Structure 1
Amino acid sequence: MKFLVLWMMAGCWCSLALGQRITGRIVDDKIQPVAFANVTLMNVKDSVSKSALTNADGQYAFTKPAPGNYKIMVSTVGFKQGSSAIISFQNKDITVPDLQLKADLKQLSDVVVTGRKPFLEQRADKLVVNVQGSILTAGATAAEVLRRVPGLRVLNDRVTMTGKSKLVIMVDGRLSQYQDMNALLRATPASSIDRIEVVSNPSAKFDAEGDAVINIIMKRKQAAGTSGTLGMDAGLNPYRLNEVAKGDKLYQRYNPSVSINHQSGKFNVFGNYSYLYRTQFEVNIIKRYNNNSFYDQRNYNPSNYGIHTYQAGADYKADSLNTIGIVVNGFNRNGSGNYQNGSIQTNQTNGSFIDAFASQNKQGNVNNNLALNLNWRHAFMKPGQSLSVDADAAHYLLKNTSNIRVYPFSGNVIHNYQRINNPVNFETLKADYVQPLSKNTKLETGAKTSFAKIDNNLLFEQNGVNDAGRTNRFIYRENINAAYANLYITYGKWDLQAGLRAEQTVANGTSNSKKVLQRNYVQFFPSLLLTRRLDSVFAITGQYSKRIGRPSYQQQNPFEVYLDPLTYTKGNPLLTPQTTHSGKLSLTYTGLPVLALSYDQISNIIVEYAPQQKTVIDANGVPRLVSFSVADNRAEAQNFSAQLNFPIKVGNVVDGYGGVITTLQRYAAIYQGGVFEAEKWSHVFFAQADIKMSSTWAAQFSAYYATPSQYEFIKAGRNSSVDAGIAKKILGNRAKISLSVSDMFFGDRTLGRIKYQDIDLHLKQYNDTRNIILAFTYNLGSKAIKPAEARTAGADEENKRVKTN
């Protein structure tokens, strides 16, 4: 019944806009789309007009105008006004030729832009989520924003995508400032994000790594004169933590930030700085059943950290065709944690006490990361022909220490000490070339080479004595060489994008000076995207891509990294890449997604949470049942997914969207001498609405509910979240103050169970997802009249594969 109602709502939405239209596109002097320009349809006879805003692709549309003669008038910040020739409309669809605007180089003073980007935009090859104008992003982190993106979920503090096995996260197309992308997302202020691009079937231009790509585009201004932004966010997070006997607790955060941009003549200089201080917690409850014993293990992990994030750069426009630039990114994190564990073993039959112990893991970590990008952009005299070159170098340093004390019910205290020293170095060189072949055809080619060296040095001591079985040094080197070609063709109502990418991977690893892996292989990755425009508002798109999922550096590392005496993770140097074939068919309406069907076939899956358990004898001679996970790839999977979206609109007051995603997940694996098979239907319901209360007051509401699902060996339980916020513009619309509450009912928790052979393990994990945040921003100087050019640096793939957890 729910699906029938959703289909009826979507049908009503689509039927409202059927009819004749006048459509077209606004471009600049480089034939690039001009987004959010004011477009007026002016009747030549009586001057009666309609108005609209262009979307991110520069497109506009006017529905059912009266028959007559019209002119298209365009105005937007940074360009001179433009107009079209007279067009005659007689109740038949008309596509107006591209209207090209000329730049207005005069510096403008205070300008108020009233157009607002839609939260969701479906483009031919990706879904764009515009988070910049969202009230709920104020004071949040990037990870908290991703929880609100349809189809994305956060499982065990790791971002996942419905129906996808391996998700790749990029930031600004550049080197990230941190090795572990999930840790980076938890530490990056969301107020610095402009938009998020979700690419479910990446083309050959992307590195072949990953089934799907999330590209987070950070804010950056490029304007004549001097401009900037000041910001301050603060939050309080109250919790009652009775499950770990901690009672009422209060956590907090604050985040001052500043950005500045100055453009004069041929030079543009920019920089930004942000400091985030946060106290937080994580609770992990693990219940295990084995041989008539019940193990109740409860972890409470309070921590705090301070993060300095900074960026500085400059562009020099040597002439009208050449621009060179330099960008430096830095990220410094200092943090500490006091991980507390209590474990009790009882008899399942009568509940009698068998054993117990407590442990404390005091952790400290320091991350000092620095990345440099040099770039050159050359535009040829022929419109659309261009060459871009990027050189990247980065040095990351992770230091982590753990002092683990185990307090048994009887016997001596056991003192374990673990230290990880992990320097990482990258160098990449990348070039991309675009050659128009005709008015409707262009060829894009490129090449890339990358080099990485990761030195993982782990020291493990027990009671002051070096444990040779756990102490290890793993050195990993990798070189990836790639080349690709993409062909774009437009023919009538058809759009075609066909590509092929070739990648050579050369990798070797040594553990304690002994070679444990060596690989050298070449693979080819085709991609295809075909769009058929049914009319001026509807289009159907079909996509196919082949992708690779390489094991991360840490997944190949044979270290045993301990959380507490009963839980650890271990790498596997014998891992091999997984391969995914993906297909997708989607229907869009005026650029917005309506219905999408997708299917993924994954072979040789890298299972990150392959469970094992064994009994070990501790330093006091007491046997203990230990659970651990080892990455393995002996599984196959099929994922089918269907997504339906519909609008939520009430006059000019409420504007939003809602939808449902239904997924069938199938896993099959030969593991530990047995066969694991799982099949599960799951559903995610989501909605978001913007409420315009006045010209200065606005509110926003967001919610989702996810039914139980299957994730590798984990049968995950339901979770949900409800967020709300209110904002007001002040000080002549130069400033904004907002108050928001995320996960107000504290339903965003991870529940799960692993039951395989003699393993019967129940999981419950939650952290400080409920936050009350007050945020203030103030805009300085003149408004931008020239948008920054999009850039893609060369080291995306290597960075996203370096992980630490």
Structure 2
Amino acid sequence: MAQNISGKLVDEAQQPLPYANVVLQTIDSVFVTGTTTGEKGEFKLQKIAAGDYRLVISSIGYQPLYLSLQGFERTADVGTLTLADASQELGEVIVTASSRVSRADQKLIFPSKKQISASNNGVDMLRHLMLPRLRVNSIDGSVGMTDGSSVQLCINGRKATKEEVTALLPEEVIRVEFQEDPGLRYGDAGAVINYIVRRYEVGGSFGYNGMQSLKSGFGNHNLTGKVNFKQSEISFYYGNRLQYFNEIWFDKNETFTFEDGSQYHRSQYAEANKKKNLQQWGAVTYNLQEADKYMLNATVGFSHYNDPDLRMKGKLYTEEFPNSVTDREEWNHDRNLSPYLDIYFQKNLKHKQFLALNVVGTYINTKNRSSYTELLSGEPVVDYYSGIRGKKYSLIGEGIYEKTFKDGGKLSAGVRHTQGYTDNDYNGTLQYSSQMKQADTYAYAQYNGKWGKLGYRLGMGVTRSWFQQIGQEDYETYSLNPRLNLTYAFNDQWSISLNGNVNTMNPSLSQLSAVEQFTDSLQSERGNPNLKPYSYYRSTFRLNYNKGKWDVGLRNQYNYRDKAIMPHIYREDDRFIHSYANHSNFQDWTVGLDARVGMLWDVLQLSGSIESRKYWSNGIDFRHTQHSIGWDVAATFMYKNFTASVEFQHNSDYFFGEVLATGEEAHAIDLQYRWKRLNVGLRMFNPFQKDYKRNEADWNKYAGYSYQYHIDDIARMICVTLSWNINFGRDYKSNNKKMQNSDTDAGVL
């Protein structure tokens, strides 16, 4: 079937390059077709059959550019390409197989027809693209980096939530842009993934994708739709995740050391009746835009979490009193509802300037109820009840400005302010009323430039943090957030990058809340209103190799958190108080190797990584070190309408403060078949485990424990996956919304 190849050509000053030669060749340099760029640098090659090609772009006075399009089988927009002056060596753009363009600062991935057919939604597509150092959770769809850092998802340049990306129809995705160590606007995010998607002038689309377990009530279900008319678009999405597990239990061993030196050893075994919770989310959006001029976007959405009637029953055994076996009963009911309004406006100004404004208002309503009872010979010896009603109101405002210069450099600046008010009532065994105010302001300026083969990004941010617990004194702090990114391409295969930045980490409202809640007969949870923001220093070095189907990277990352907020346990009147404090520091160092190869024989792609991670935790009254090794491998086989994939993960241990969560084992096997617009399959989680479990330990000298949590339903869980969508309309150029803000901190302890 004939397809098209289009794009735009500019010089290093980002000016359009008209009348440049664009030639399409086979891999053995046989001419296929050609054209020249128009007045605005645009070009389009039409009616191209599927196959392996090389795109050669040249112009007098510039270095020629070669793009490999192996496995080309669908219409592709290669985006904006830059020709270097003839006086400079080419090294800025590195082109690899499998429809990938690799630059020193980012990767452009053009999903193949097979990858699109195998994907159920935008998040699922990431599993099949196998981006280096990226990890996608097959159960809940969360996306993160192998080093534990967060990933900022975007759609057409606009910050987006995981739920919005889940609502994307795979065939609407033109390309995916992957950038590690992004700029100051993204805070402490380790990477940005930007989906470039189509927009329609008329018609619309509708789709469903979901996954349902055959073993339990676990399932994810998503609906999405949009209607377009000229410059307007109305869209919606709705999703829910039901977790309903039948067999859950845990074992816990604790050691308590009292102030007189005596110890108390306690063992717990508890079993849940059934665990069920329902998460829901949805939004309706109106978008009005005139391409290359302005865009107005208004969204009304909500998220809802309901975890009703979780009951855990079990036994308490004590080494010091072996004949006194206590029955324990625990009950929890949690609910959270959060509607929001998001209004965004952007406008392209004269002289390559850009301005965007965003305002988000959020209301979070929380209702939590819990009880804890210990019975001896049927009589309660401990009986605690807690009820929490919380309300939070927040307003987020942000503005960004960008200016592109003739030499290709770009200046960007922005300011974001968050204002929040929380009103929480705690009733039951302990009663409190807590009102808190919080304001955070972040401003930054950053310049991107290039000097020969060296690309650089230099910026500075300033953070102001203000907090007040009503009835107590407020505090105000200021901190600087510098950032430096350097990239250097030796040739079309090897490149290096060095990144360093300092972020300000603010305490959450729940950590700051001056309230206390009993958890059992010996322990309590208590907030700490004296917490202060702390500085988080990050440095990363990467060496990358790209050639043909190979993508290999070596990474070395060191992080230092000064005065880190970590859990703090102390004794008070024979009770053990679990709180938070600004400790001395926390450090971690990771060395890792990542590799990807594909498509082999046009049907198989492979990826894998291995890393060594070491932690140093230095607290008020503790010093700990921990070392672990993690690895993962994945393979995807695609043939005609069939797709098969397998994943194996052994995660590195996670250690913070004094709590160690040992490496989780996770496996998944996926089989899918595509028929027209219907994609149906089977996915099996942890097929090689009889029992899914997680291990955790606290090394605290006063109230240490070891804990093992079991969910039998997740082991060998078979799910049916299904996606179906229809769409109609025609493409047109759309603007990129630059930001999206949200508030999810309820402020409840």
Q: How far apart are the structure 2 equivalents of 1:152 and 1:287?
A: 32
Q: What's the counterpart of residue 696 of structure 2?
A: 752
1:522-576 per-position Cα deviation (integer Å, ceiling 9, x unaligned): 2111101011111123211111101111111101113334555565532211111
Q: How far apart are the structure 2 equivalents of 1:313 and 1:135?
A: 28
1:483-517 per-position Cα deviation (integer Å, ceiling 9, x unaligned): 2111011222111110011122222113xxx31x5
Q: Which moved more, 1:650-659 or 1:192-201?
A: 192-201
Q: Relative to structure 1, is the Cα distance of residues 655 and 684 closer, same or farther in structure 2, using a 3 angstrom cutoff? A: same
Q: Relative to structure 1, is the Cα distance of residues 637 and 367 closer, same or farther in structure 2, using a 3 angstrom cutoff? A: closer
Read off the aligned partner of 1:480 and give its amino acid letter.
D
1:650-671 per-position Cα deviation (integer Å, ceiling 9, x unaligned): 4322102111111121111222
Q: What's the counterpart of residue 359 of structure 1?
A: 329
Q: What's the counterpart of residue 651 of structure 1?
A: 601
Q: Relative to structure 1, is the Cα distance of residues 143 and 401 closer, same or farther in structure 2, using a 3 angstrom cutoff? A: farther
Tell me, yes or no, if structure 1 residue 539 matches structure 2 residue 495: yes
Q: What's the counterpart of residue 243 of structure 2?
A: 278
Tell me, yes or no, if structure 1 residue 416 matches structure 2 residue 384: yes
Q: Relative to structure 1, is the Cα distance of residues 343 and 39 closer, same or farther in structure 2, using a 3 angstrom cutoff? A: farther
Q: Relative to structure 1, is the Cα distance of residues 744 and 306 closer, same or farther in structure 2, using a 3 angstrom cutoff? A: same
Q: How far apart are the structure 2 equivalents of 1:129 and 1:562?
A: 54
Q: How far apart are the structure 1 equivalents of 2:270 and 2:370?
A: 15
Q: 1:499 aligns with which of 442, 445, 459?
A: 459
Tell me, yes or no, if structure 1 residue 716 matches structure 2 residue 661: yes
Q: Is the 8 A contact 2:252 2:706 kept in 1?
A: yes
Q: How far apart are the structure 1 equivalents of 2:384 and 2:110?
A: 46
Q: Is the 8 A contact 1:358 1:408 kept in 2?
A: no
Q: What's the counterpart of residue 315 of structure 1?
A: 287
For the residue of structure 1 that corresponds to 2:405, the secondary structure is strand
Per the normalisation by structure 2, the TM-score is 0.78
Q: What's the counterpart of residue 47 of structure 2?
A: none
Q: Which moved more, 1:120-129 or 1:399-408?
A: 120-129
Q: Is the 8 A contact 1:435 1:442 kept in 2?
A: yes
Q: What's the counterpart of residue 348 of structure 2?
A: 379
Q: 1:666 aligns with which of 616, 638, 648?
A: 616
Query: Which residues of 2 match residues 16-95 of structure 1 at below 5 A?
Result: 26-27=7-8, 40-41=24-25, 46-47=30-31
For residue 450 of structure 1, report the CA deviation from its aligned partner: 2.1
Q: Is the 8 A contact 1:122 1:588 kept in 2?
A: no
For residue 140 of structure 1, report the CA deviation from its aligned partner: 9.7
Tell me, yes or no, if structure 1 residue 226 matches structure 2 residue 195: no
Q: What's the counterpart of residue 764 of structure 1?
A: 708
Q: Which moved more, 1:749-758 or 1:78-87?
A: 78-87
Q: 1:632 aligns with which of 568, 581, 589?
A: 581
Q: What's the counterpart of residue 102 of structure 1?
A: none
Q: Is the 8 A contact 1:44 1:71 kept in 2?
A: no
Read off the aligned partner of 1:252 and give its amino acid letter.
G
Q: What's the counterpart of residue 737 of structure 2?
A: 791
Q: Relative to structure 1, is the Cα distance of residues 376 and 329 closer, same or farther in structure 2, using a 3 angstrom cutoff? A: same
Query: Which residues of 2 match residues 532-571 of structure 1 at below 5 A?
Result: 532-561=488-517, 568-571=524-527
Structure 2 alignment gaps of length 5 or more = 17-21, 35-43, 45-51, 59-63, 257-261
For residue 401 of structure 1, report the CA deviation from its aligned partner: 1.8
Q: How far apart are the structure 1 equivalents of 2:410 and 2:186?
A: 18
Q: 2:183 aligns with which of 196, 203, 217?
A: 203
Q: 1:473 aligns with which of 433, 450, 458?
A: 433
Query: Which residues of 2 match residues 218-297 of structure 1 at below 5 A?
Result: 222-236=199-213, 238=215, 251-280=216-245, 283-290=249-256, 291=262, 293-297=264-268
Q: Relative to structure 1, is the Cα distance of residues 140 and 317 closer, same or farther in structure 2, using a 3 angstrom cutoff? A: closer
For residue 339 of structure 1, report the CA deviation from its aligned partner: 2.6
Tell me, yes or no, if structure 1 residue 426 matches structure 2 residue 397: no
Query: Which residues of 2 match residues 466-615 of structure 1 at below 5 A?
Result: 470-510=430-470, 514-515=471-472, 518-561=474-517, 568-590=524-546, 592=551, 594-608=553-567, 610-612=568-570
Q: 2:642 aligns with which of 687, 692, 697?
A: 697
Q: Is the 8 A contact 2:484 2:501 kept in 1?
A: yes
For residue 313 of structure 1, report the CA deviation from its aligned partner: 1.0
Per the normalisation by structure 1, the TM-score is 0.73
Q: Which moved more, 1:188-197 or 1:267-276?
A: 188-197
Q: How far apart are the structure 2 equivalents of 1:188 and 1:359?
A: 39
Q: Relative to structure 1, is the Cα distance of residues 407 and 190 closer, same or farther in structure 2, using a 3 angstrom cutoff? A: farther
Q: How far apart are the structure 1 equivalents of 2:65 and 2:404?
A: 33
Q: Relative to structure 1, is the Cα distance of residues 324 and 79 closer, same or farther in structure 2, using a 3 angstrom cutoff? A: farther
Q: What's the counterpart of residue 390 of structure 1?
A: 358
Q: How far apart are the structure 1 equivalents of 2:747 and 2:486?
A: 35
Read off the aligned partner of 1:416 and give its amino acid letter.
Y
Q: Which moved more, 1:567-576 or 1:598-607?
A: 567-576
Q: Is the 8 A contact 2:487 2:496 kept in 1?
A: yes
Q: How far apart are the structure 2 equivalents of 1:452 and 1:85?
A: 44
Q: How far apart are the structure 1 equivalents of 2:132 and 2:376?
A: 45
Q: Relative to structure 1, is the Cα distance of residues 78 and 188 closer, same or farther in structure 2, using a 3 angstrom cutoff? A: closer
For residue 225 of structure 1, report the CA deviation from its aligned partner: 2.3
Q: Relative to structure 1, is the Cα distance of residues 160 and 501 closer, same or farther in structure 2, using a 3 angstrom cutoff? A: same
Q: How far apart are the structure 1 equivalents of 2:15 and 2:741?
A: 26
Q: Relative to structure 1, is the Cα distance of residues 405 and 258 closer, same or farther in structure 2, using a 3 angstrom cutoff? A: same
Q: How far apart are the structure 2 equivalents of 1:562 and 1:128?
A: 52
Q: Which moved more, 1:563-572 or 1:399-408?
A: 563-572
The alignment yields a C-alpha RMSD, in angstroms, of 4.9
For the residue of structure 1 that corresponds to 2:252, the secondary structure is strand
Read off the aligned partner of 1:41 and give its amino acid letter.
Q
**How many aligned positions are there?**
685
1:710-761 per-position Cα deviation (integer Å, ceiling 9, x unaligned): 332124333311111011111x2x2211211123334764323333434441
Q: How far apart are the structure 2 equivalents of 1:152 and 1:562?
A: 37
For residue 521 of structure 1, report the CA deviation from its aligned partner: 1.9
Q: Relative to structure 1, is the Cα distance of residues 588 and 213 closer, same or farther in structure 2, using a 3 angstrom cutoff? A: closer
1:264-308 per-position Cα deviation (integer Å, ceiling 9, x unaligned): 212121111223333137544210134564311134343323333
1:159-214 per-position Cα deviation (integer Å, ceiling 9, x unaligned): 987666x868778798999xxxxxxx8x999566989999874532234xxx5457
Q: Is the 8 A contact 2:645 2:669 kept in 1?
A: yes
For residue 457 of structure 1, report the CA deviation from its aligned partner: 1.6
Q: Is the 8 A contact 2:294 2:735 kept in 1?
A: no
Q: What's the counterpart of residue 259 of structure 2?
A: none
Q: How far apart are the structure 2 equivalents of 1:331 and 1:413?
A: 39
Q: What's the counterpart of residue 19 of structure 1?
A: none
Q: How far apart are the structure 2 equivalents of 1:713 and 1:128?
A: 41
For the residue of structure 1 that corresponds to 2:510, the secondary structure is coil
For residue 418 of structure 1, report the CA deviation from its aligned partner: 1.4
How many percent of aligned residue pairs carry the same amino acid? 13
For residue 368 of structure 1, report the CA deviation from its aligned partner: 2.2
For the residue of structure 2 that corresponds to 1:428, the secondary structure is strand
For the residue of structure 2 that corresponds to 1:555, the secondary structure is helix
Q: How far apart are the structure 2 equivalents of 1:130 and 1:570?
A: 49
Q: Which moved more, 1:546-555 or 1:70-79?
A: 70-79
Q: 2:105 aligns with which of 124, 127, 131?
A: 124
For the residue of structure 2 that corresponds to 1:205, the secondary structure is helix
